[in-house]
Structure 1
Amino acid sequence: MFAGIEAGGTKWVVAVGDALNHIVALERFPTTTPEETIQRAMVFLRQFSGLRAIGVASFGPIDLHADSPTYGFITTTPKPGW
């Protein structure tokens, strides 16, 4: 099983699929605060044991420099609070 998160500025889509590219479960919800939105995604994903990988597509920009202390973090974004 694999998971995907599309973290948009107005909504998030979180999905779980199998190795045959079948979507097993999917949830859409509005982007609110980081705490609420990430928690909601985690509650959804914790229903599935044995996830092998999670892919994330996020509004950005994201720090892509592997040697940076903020590697993988959203840096300056127009989304307030994020």
Structure 2
Amino acid sequence: MSLKHGDRVRLANSSGCVVVEVRESKRDEPGGLAFMVNSPWSNALVPSDTGGRGIPEFKNITAKISLTKDEITTLESLIAR
């Protein structure tokens, strides 16, 4: 998938889905890598299962990514979930 700055993508997994805007890294990153800072948008994709540890797994979250023309997910809609 060829993504460019400003594209909208839908990120979805069994925990939720969000639509966000692609921003190109200013660093030289390897292709095929996506990174999302900790935020309400990334938290929507964090599984609730803690594996008995009591702490959700905030890193290495797997999600499907697809181009979309849908509106970007608002903070208000995330809070209302």
| Interval containing the TM-score (normalised by the shorter chain) | under 0.3
Bigger RCO of structures 1 and 2 (CA < 8 A, at least 6 apart): 2
Normalized per residue, the structure richer in strand is: 1
